[in-house]
Amino acid sequence: MEFKEVIGRRRSIRFFDPDRPVEREKIQKMLEAARLASCAVNAQWARAVVGFRDDLTDDQLKRLKTPVAGLNTELAPVHIHWFNDLGVVRRNEGRPLKELVDVGALAPTHGWSHKFVDDFVYPQILKPLTESPGYPIASTFDVGVAVCQALLTGVDEGLGVGLVTLNGAVLKEVFGTPDDWIPLSTILVGYPAESWDAGGQRPRPPFEEMYHEGKYGQPFKRDDKVVEELKAANMIQAPATSNNPARIAEIKKLAEKYGLPM
C-alpha cells in the first residue's frame, strides 16, 4: 500500500475477529518498524512485550482490562505492550551517540566527536536529563514515535490495530518487567471484524485551530489544492458522520454476531 494511504486507512479498530490468529511474521514486522524509529540521542527507550491473549489466564486477562478497553482487549488475539526503559541512558553512558559519530551520522562539521560526547553531552545534558522530573515524559515521546511506526506497519500488513491503555501495575506483574520500565500503552492486533473503513475517518479539530505559523494564534493556512491531492492519494478520506445508518447497522450486526449489548 502507498504510504499516504496507510495513514489514511488507519482507524482505531475495536472489533477484532477473536478466532482468527495473526501471523507471527506480521507481528515481527511491526516490531522491526518500531526499532527503526528515530529517537533522541539514539537512546532507544522503547521496549515491548508481545502477549498472546490465549496464553493469559482468565484472571490475568480480567485484571489487565480497564473500563474503556475491556472488550477490545478480549477480542484481539495479540497484544503488544509498550514500555519506556528508563535505565537505557544510565547504562549506555553516551555509547549510542558515539556510534552515530563512528558511522558519520553525527559529523565533526557539526561539532561532534567522542570527546564532545564524553566531556559535554553525556555529563551536562544526558545525565542531568535522567535526574530531572520531566525525564519520563520526555523519553515517552520517543516511545510514541516508535509505536506509531509499528501501528502503521500493522495497517500496511492488512491487520486491524488499536491503541489502548491497560492496567500498568498488572502488566508489570504478569510480564515480570524490570522496575525501571514504565508501562505505557498497548497495541491490540487482530484481523478486523468490522469493515476497514469503520464508518470513516474520526473527527478532528479544524486544521487551522491545531497548527500555527510564525507565532501562536496565527493559523497555518490550509491550501485546498493540497487537500485535494491528499484526497486523491487516499490519505484524507470521508469523515465519519454522526448517526450514519450504515455504521449503526454494522455495529448492530457485530453485536448480534458476538452476543454484545446494544
Ligand X SMILES: Cc1cc2nc3c(=O)[nH]c(=O)nc-3n(C[C@H](O)[C@H](O)[C@H](O)COP(=O)(O)O)c2cc1C
Cα 146 to Cα 31: distance, rounded to the nearest angstrom: 9
Min dist CB 70 to ligand X, Å, is 9
Nearest residue to 31 via CA among 182, 153, 163: 153
Min dist CB 85 to ligand X, Å, is 18
Cα 81 to Cα 48: distance, rounded to the nearest angstrom: 5
Min dist CB 176 to ligand X, Å, is 23
**C-beta separation of 86 from 189 below 8 A:** no
Binding mask 9-28 for ligand X (x = CB under 6 A): --xx-x--------------
Min dist CB 2 to ligand X, Å, is 19
The residue among 30 and 164 lying less far from ligand X, judged by its C-beta, is: 164
The residue among 113 and 234 lying less far from ligand X, judged by its C-beta, is: 234
Min dist CB 222 to ligand X, Å, is 19
Per-residue 3-state assignment (H helix, E strand, C coil) for the chain = CCHHHHHHHCCCCCCECCCCCCCHHHHHHHHHHHHCCCCHHHCCCEEEEEEEHHHCCHHHHHHHCCCCCHHHHHHCCEEEEEEEECCHHHHHCCHHHHHHHHCCCCCHHHCCCHHHHHHHHHHHHHHHHHHCCCHHHHHHHHHHHHHHHHHHHHHHCCCEEEEECCCHHHHHHHHCCCCCEEEEEEEEEECECCCCCCCCECCCCCHHHHCEECEEEEECCCCHHHHHHHHHCCCCCCECCCCCHHHHHHHHHHHHHHCCCC
> And the C-alpha cell for 205?
479539530
The residue among 125 and 210 lying less far from ligand X, judged by its C-beta, is: 210
The residue among 89 and 188 lying less far from ligand X, judged by its C-beta, is: 188
Of residues 111-170, those binding ligand X (CB under 6 A): 163-165
Question: Contact region for ligand X (CB under 6 A) — 7-15, 36-44, 110-118, 175-183?
Answer: 7-15
Q: Binding of ligand X at residue 79 (CB under 6 A)?
A: no
The residue among 159 and 163 lying less far from ligand X, judged by its C-beta, is: 163
Choice from 202, 212, 231, 252 touching ligand X (CB under 6 A):
202
The residue among 113 and 165 lying less far from ligand X, judged by its C-beta, is: 165
Residues near ligand X (CB under 6 A), total: 11
The residue among 196 and 211 lying less far from ligand X, judged by its C-beta, is: 196
Min dist CB 179 to ligand X, Å, is 23
Q: Binding of ligand X at residue 81 (CB under 6 A)?
A: no
For 250, list phi and psi in degrees, rounded to 5.
-65, -45
Q: Binding of ligand X at residue 185 (CB under 6 A)?
A: yes
Min dist CB 43 to ligand X, Å, is 20
Q: Which residues bind ligand X (CB under 6 A)?
A: 11-12, 14, 68-69, 72, 163-165, 185, 202
